[in-house]
Amino acid sequence: MKRLFLSMLLVVLALTAYAMWNTVAQLNQQVTTRFEGRRWALPARMYARPLELYAGKKLRPQQLKQELELLQYSPTQDLGKPGEYQVSGNRFTIHSRGFPFPDGRQSATVIGLSFTDDRISSLIDQQSGQPLTLFRLEPLHIAAIYPGDNEDRLLIRLEQTPDLLIRTLLLVEDKTFYKHFGIRPLAILRALLANLKAGKTVQGGSTLTQQLVKNFFLTSEQSLKRKLNEAMMALLLEYHYEKNEILEAYLNEIYLGQDGKRAIHGFAMASRFYFQRNIDELSPDQIALLVGLAKGASFYNPRKHPQRARTRRNQILNTMAKTELLSTEDAARLREKPLGVSKRIPSGITRYPAFVELVRRQLRRDYQNEDLQSEGLSIFTTLNPVLQQQAEQSLQQVLTDIERERKMTAQSLQGALVLCSADQGEVLALVGDRFPRRAGFNRALNMRRPLGSVIKPAIYLNALSRPDTYNLLNILSDDPLSVPLAGGAWQPQNYDKTFHGSVPLMQALVHSYNVATVRLGMELGLENVITTLHDLGIPEQIPAFPSLLLGAVEFPPIDVLQMYQTIAAGGYQTPLRAILAVTDRQNQLLQRYPLTIEQAADPAAVFCLSTALQEVTRTGTGHSLQQLLPAGLTIAGKTGTTDELRDSWFAGFSNSHVAVAWVGRDDNSPTGLTGATGALRIWADIMAGISTDPLDLQPPANIDFYFSNLQEGKLFADQCRQGELIPFIRGGLLPPVITCAGSRPSESTQPRNTTPENSLEQTLEEGIQKFLRIFR
């Protein structure tokens, strides 16, 4: 019997040893596999465009201040650290933050710049006193694409972490970190006795290594087995890896807060979350607060429990003073400071949902969703946050004003506004809702509404591209028209319900005569008009119905923006883009999204069209812009109104910006607004509020100008020198010539070339300047 008992005991011991060995082996594999692989799934982060500063740049001091406020820079009298600035008269001194741009890291630098007449007149490096050719402020973080576990963190290297934070953390959480081997048996015993005596958990005995193991590998389950695994894994972690590597992992892993579903991990992310500052900008009291959260981020949450958080912070400040990390005087002063936690919680939900949707739409062409959620990509976008803010304000304010003036139900109107650069097609601002923070239906991208007359430039461009047959003074008939259809006849009407007889082509566009436009479109051929729409950048299939000539075809505002950007760029299509570059978590460039340009229309025909669209804003359906825009801001554009006044559109451009505005109702009920009384007002408000250059149309070499009688559609003889100078494509059809008194002369007239004699040099200079703007 005794021998049997001993045999069974040996078997049990052997099985126990085997099980323990297998458990240790499994834990060892778990530790090494996870710790040596990719430790964290990192969210992709989106950034706005960086503000570029250089001498000569058109920029108002208030715009620079607005940009600094968005970036959470603090005004101060004494620049001590990055993220601060001071203003003295027309001079700014800025201590910038370092940032890893796609073309290399830019270090934190103190710069000085002065303004003269709303332009930067000088830009210098304060330390060296040398002028700077170009300097970029770091871009605003606008959104993130989070992993499935919704953990948000910013990885930081140990050498990038403030020394005071590391020393304070070790002082409070693990004084003997660099001496123990992963666990402290005596500390565990003391904690066990204290907890048994108190009948609850009042003291912990975990090392930083054990805390890391608990957060990184294990669940929060309270059991003896989990505690044993925690101790064993801590020993294994210390066996395999250096202390500094373990400490660095802890700094990035520790849980320090919650924002809805988003979990805040690591001190770098917590610094942004609580103070909206980089970790190297923290003051000693802010460091003490963050270190205090390691004991219990929920219990000491400074936004929910400010008194608890303050007590905990002050305890740590006292401890720092006792160990001479701080002087007694500094500690006393810091204990009196408020917590300093930002009032606005930097939510993981983007402030720019409409624009972010456009970015994600373009990202899907090149990246899998799992890569966006885990690889820590940095996505550099074209968003201009100052212009975006202005666009949001313009849409909200003008809609509110219209509702009040017309005694409409408050918030019954909706709108959309999109803005891009004229020469590069970079989407700078995009508003898809009058409540722009609402991540609902994005009208700028997904709404499909009839265009009305904003489609007409495509029809007139098709005609002007045939200079042997058409020019700006061609006579069109605006008499009654009946278009045969399968179900009967269509008889288009003008907005004013009258017919205007024979009108020059330019006047038909300027005053948006429907009947003349339909007659012209039918002469050109519907398929040819559709081809022009596609050439201008409209990607959708378009049915060849005559009513499309009056905009009875539905497109989203973003497509209309592409169409007008091509016109603004002189007939050269640049696909709209919202992304500039993408880098990986090591800041290695993965992809650039370069500027691509393709000629979509004859530049001479586009110049003639743009001349007519400029006249629209002077004497035509958009003439109210003359009272709404600053003096000297010349622009071109077109109004659009749909049946029963359901949709109000305006699309147009200055020399540097293209914008499209829409106003309507989601239930498609009438608004009582034309393009001029609704969308045009929003368009004017955004253009009046930003720095934009007046339209300066440069005629191509094959454009000639003739003194013309706009009302009759004829040219004046040379000696008259009266009427308007109208452009014509050289070698094309010219209108009849009349004398000053109006009779037909025997001689022909000669062109008045308004292009300077040094047009070749000027053209080359403008080409160089445009190239530099594009690739700056």
Question: What are the catalytic residues?
Answer: 173, 453
Q: Identify whether the C-beta of residue 177 lies closer than 8 Å to the C-beta of residue 187.
A: no
Which region holds residue 260: left if phi is over 0, alpha if psi is between -120 and 50, else beta?
left
Q: Identify whether the C-beta of residue 165 lies closer than 8 Å to the C-beta of residue 287.
A: yes
Distance CA 242, CA 244 (A): 6
Distance CA 205, CA 89 (A): 57
Q: Identify whether the C-beta of residue 490 lies closer than 8 Å to the C-beta of residue 482.
A: yes
Residues 6 or more apart whose CB falls under 8 angstroms from that of 549 comprise 455, 456, 459, 517, 518, 521, 522, 526, 529
Nearest by Cα to 54 from 113, 4, 11, 13: 113
Nearest by Cα to 113 from 73, 64, 69: 64
In the sheet that 737-738 helps form, which strands lie side by side, from edge to edge? 724-729, 703-709, 714-716, 737-738
Q: Identify whether the C-beta of residue 717 lies closer than 8 Å to the C-beta of residue 706.
A: no
Name the DSSP letter for residue 731: T
Distance CA 462, CA 529 (A): 6
Q: For residues 700, 704, 707 and 710, what is the CA-based torsion angle, rounded to 10 degrees?
A: -60
> 447 phi and psi, to 5 degrees?
-80, 135
**Residue 714: strand, helix, or coil:** strand
Distance CA 147, CA 158 (A): 24
Q: How many CA atoms lie within 13 A of 494 on its CB side?
A: 21
> 32 phi and psi, to 5 degrees?
-70, -40
**Residue 15: strand, helix, or coil:** helix
- Helices 224-240 + 243-253 axis angle, to 10: 130
Enter the tokens of residue 441.
């239906």
Enter the tokens of residue 527.
């398929």
> 377 phi and psi, to 5 degrees?
-70, 150
Beta bridge partners of 151: 263
Residues 6 or more apart whose CB falls under 8 angstroms from that of 195 comprise 201, 202, 203
How many other C-beta atoms can be found within 10 angstroms of the C-beta atom of residue 730? 15
Q: Identify whether the C-beta of residue 642 lies closer than 8 Å to the C-beta of residue 675.
A: no
Distance CA 767, CA 776 (A): 14
Q: Identify whether the C-beta of residue 41 lies closer than 8 Å to the C-beta of residue 147.
A: yes
- Helices 224-240 + 208-216 axis angle, to 10: 110
Beta bridge partners of 450: 554
Distance CA 37, CA 105 (A): 26
